[in-house]
C-alpha cells in the first residue's frame, strides 16, 4: 500500500502531499508554452499522475469541495475527477464555473463531472450567453461532452444546442469558438438527423456577416461533409 494511502482517502492534506510528491518543474514550465494552460496556481503535476492519484483515493464529495477551495490547479483537477456527480448542485456548478481560469480545468470539470450531473443540460442554457469567456466555454464544452457521453439524450436536446450555437456563433473569443466548433462536430457525428441539422446550420453560418460565424460554418462543413475521394 503506497505511503499515505490510508489517510489520503478522506484527508485533504494527504492528497495535497501526494500531488506535491509528483510535482515536476519540467511539467510546470511546459504548461503554458506547450499546452496553453495559463494559471497562477499550479505546481506542475502531469494529467497522468493526477488521474493516478484520483484513482488511488477514490470518490468523496466533501473532500472534493475542500480540494477545490484550495485554489490549486492540480487540487481542483483531482477534485473534478473524484467528486460524486449525484451530489453536485447547480449552486456548486455555478461557483466552480466562475472559478475557471483556463481551458484545461474548464474541460476537465465538464468532461469528468458536470456532464454526469442531473442538471447538466440546464447549465448549458444557463451559461451559453455569459459574458465570461470561460463560463461561456463551459456551456459549449458541456454540450460537446454531452454529445459524446449522453447516449440516451433525445435529438431535440441537441437541436436546441445547435440553436444556442447559432445565437452565439459571432463570439470571436478563442476559447469560446473552439468549444463551439467541437460541440458542432460532436453533435453532427451522433446520427444522420443531427448531421443534417448541423450541416444546415453550417450553411447558415457561412452566409453570416461576421468572420467567427463563417469560420465555424466552414469548419463544420469540412468535417461533416463526406469526402468525395
- pLDDT tens digit sequence for 4-36: 444 445 689 999 999 999 999 999 999 999 899
Angstrom distance (rounded) from CA 216 to CA 223: 11
pLDDT of residue 10: 64
| Letter string b/e over residues 134-166, b meaning 16 or more CB atoms within 10 A of that residue's CB | bbbbbbbbbbbbbbeebeeeeeeebeebbebbe
Average pLDDT over residues 80-84: 98
Q: Which of 31, 53, 83 is the last residue of a domain?
A: 83
Q: Is there a single domain that holds both residue 63 and residue 97?
A: no
Note whether 94 and 76 are same-domain residues: no
The reply to whether 66 and 140 lie within a common domain is no
Same domain, residue pair 58 and 108: no
Quick one: 110 and 185 in the same domain? yes
pLDDT at 8: 45
Domain co-membership, 58 together with 123: no
Q: What is the count of structural domains for the chain?
A: 2
Query: Structural domain of residue 58, as residue ranges?
Result: 1-83
pTM reported for the whole predicted model = 0.92
Categorize the per-residue pLDDT at 115 as very low, low, confident or very high, splitting at 50, 70 and 90.
very high
Taking only the tens place, the pLDDT of each residue in 27-65 is: 999 999 989 999 989 999 999 999 999 999 999 999 999
- Tell me, yes or no, whether 99 and 178 share the same domain: yes
Q: What is the pLDDT of residue 9?
A: 55
Give yes or no: residues 3 and 106 share one domain. no
CATH number of the domain that 191 lies in? 1.25.40
Distance CA 217, CA 221 (A): 6
Average pLDDT, the chain: 94
97 falls in which pLDDT band (50, 70, 90)?
very high
Kindly state whether residues 54 and 165 are assigned to the same domain.
no
pLDDT of residue 226: 74
Distances (CA, A) of 134 to 45, 59, 94, 127, 221: 22, 26, 12, 10, 26
Amino acid at each position: 500500500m503506497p505511503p499515505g494511502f490510508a489517510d489520503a482517502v478522506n484527508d485533504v492534506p494527504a492528497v495535497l502531499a501526494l500531488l506535491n510528491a509528483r510535482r515536476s518543474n519540467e511539467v510546470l514550465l511546459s504548461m503554458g508554452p506547450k499546452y496553453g494552460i495559463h494559471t497562477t496556481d499550479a505546481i506542475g503535476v502531469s494529467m497522468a499522475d493526477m488521474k493516478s492519484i484520483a484513482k488511488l483515493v477514490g470518490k468523496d464529495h466533501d473532500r472534493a469541495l475542500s480540494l477545490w477551495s484550495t485554489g490549486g490547479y492540480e487540487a481542483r483537477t483531482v477534485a473534478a475527477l473524484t467528486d460524486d456527480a449525484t451530489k453536485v448542485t447547480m449552486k456548486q456548478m455555478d461557483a466552480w464555473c466562475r472559478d475557471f481560469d483556463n481551458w484545461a480545468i474548464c474541460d476537465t470539470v465538464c468532461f469528468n463531472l458536470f456532464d454526469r450531473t442531473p442538471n447538466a443540460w440546464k447549465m448549458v442554457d444557463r451559461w451559453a450567453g455569459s459574458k465570461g469567456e470561460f463560463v461561456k466555454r463551459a456551456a459549449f464544452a458541456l454540450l460537446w461532452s454531452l454529445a459524446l457521453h449522453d447516449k440516451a439524450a433525445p435529438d431535440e436536446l441537441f437541436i436546441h444546442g445547435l440553436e444556442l450555437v447559432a445565437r452565439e456563433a459571432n463570439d470571436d473569443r478563442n476559447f469560446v469558438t473552439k468549444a463551439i466548433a467541437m460541440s458542432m462536430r460532436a453533435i453532427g457525428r451522433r446520427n444522420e438527423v443531427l448531421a443534417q441539422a448541423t450541416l444546415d446550420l453550417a450553411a447558415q453560418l457561412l452566409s453570416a456577416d461576421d468572420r467567427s460565424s463563417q469560420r465555424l460554418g466552414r469548419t463544420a462543413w469540412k468535417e461533416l461533409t463526406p469526402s468525395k475521394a
